A and B are shown apart, each in its own frame.
Chain A
Amino acid sequence: DGGITQSPKYLFRKEGQNVTLSCEQNLNHDAMYWYRQDPGQGLRLIYYSQIVNDFQKGDIAEGYSVSREKKESFPLTVTSAQKNPTAFYLCASSEPGQDNYGYTFGSGTRLTVV
């Protein structure tokens, strides 16, 4: 079945550490996105990529970095510069131009600072 796989499901980070969240899709979608979700704050866009080897900052990119070396993979690194990283992180993909255009989301990674 086609879909998006996020791993790990739960992640714990110590102060000052960088951590990388994995996002893999087998939908052959060109576009991929990372969102952060906090209670009562909705979905906030961190980074997005519309094609391999290209990505753009979203609304809250500070303290995060991404890469898009392969079409199917869009990993997110939460750096030590992100002062409040505890949140639920969601990855999504889409195929702009498809008749049934819409985002497919992964199941999320819950990151906690310990």
Chain B
Amino acid sequence: QQQVKQSPQSLIVQKGGIPIINCAYENTAFDYFPWYQQFPGKGPALLIAIRPDVSEKKEGRFTISFNKSAKQFSLHIMDSQPGDSATYFCAASNWGGKLIFGQGTELSVKP
């Protein structure tokens, strides 16, 4: 019940495409859902996060969609660029608790 399942494991899109990464969780007590971006050889960095009282949050080209009834949330990257090529992790937690991470998605944006 503590798992967060992330898919796909890897994703290749053309420049300008809209990659979508999906995550699903079981624990209904989770109330904080962040996404992290990691470049090779670096630590992950917080990209965007959402609480369950909203269904969508946008920050620049990055959007989180949240479906509380389905216990799913997803990351969309609009007008993707080669510089967006990285590994993306979703995560979930109770507010203030330790994060449970998904397995990661390796995104490659081709020029």
Q: A residues touching B (Cβ–Cβ < 8 Å)? A: 4, 6, 31, 33, 40-43, 45, 48, 90, 92, 96-97, 101-108, 110
Contact A42 B34 (CB under 8 A): no
Residues in B neighbouring A106, C-beta threshold 8 A: 43
A-B contact count (CB 8 A): 50
- Bound Cα distance from A4 to B44, whole angstroms: 12
B54 interface residue (CB < 8 Å to A): no
Interface size on B, as a range, is 20 to 34
Q: How far is the CB of B103 from chain A (nearest CB, A)?
A: 4
Contact B103 A105 (CB under 8 A): no
With contact pairs A42-B89, A102-B34 given, residues A108 and B43 touching in the complex (Cβ less than 8 Å): yes
Q: B residues touching A (Cβ–Cβ < 8 Å)? A: 9, 32, 34, 36, 41-46, 49, 89, 95-99, 101-104
Partner of B101, one of A31, A43, A108: A43
Contact A42 B42 (CB under 8 A): no
Contact A102 B46 (CB under 8 A): yes
Contact A43 B89 (CB under 8 A): yes
Q: How far is the CB of A54 from chain B (nearest CB, A)?
A: 14
Q: How far is the CB of A99 from chain B (nearest CB, A)?
A: 10
Beyond the given A6-B43, A45-B98, A107-B43, could you list 15 further A-B residue pairs with CB under 8 A, ordered by the A residue number?
A4-B43, A41-B103, A42-B104, A43-B101, A92-B43, A96-B95, A97-B95, A101-B95, A101-B96, A102-B34, A103-B34, A103-B36, A105-B44, A107-B42, A108-B41
Contact A105 B45 (CB under 8 A): yes
- Bound Cα distance from A105 to B37, whole angstroms: 11
With contact pairs A41-B103, A48-B98 given, residues A102 and B49 touching in the complex (Cβ less than 8 Å): yes
Partner of B96, one of A90, A96, A104, A108: A96
Q: How far is the CB of A24 from chain B (nearest CB, A)?
A: 14
Contact A96 B97 (CB under 8 A): yes
- Bound Cα distance from A108 to B103, whole angstroms: 18
Contact B44 A90 (CB under 8 A): yes
Contact A90 B32 (CB under 8 A): no
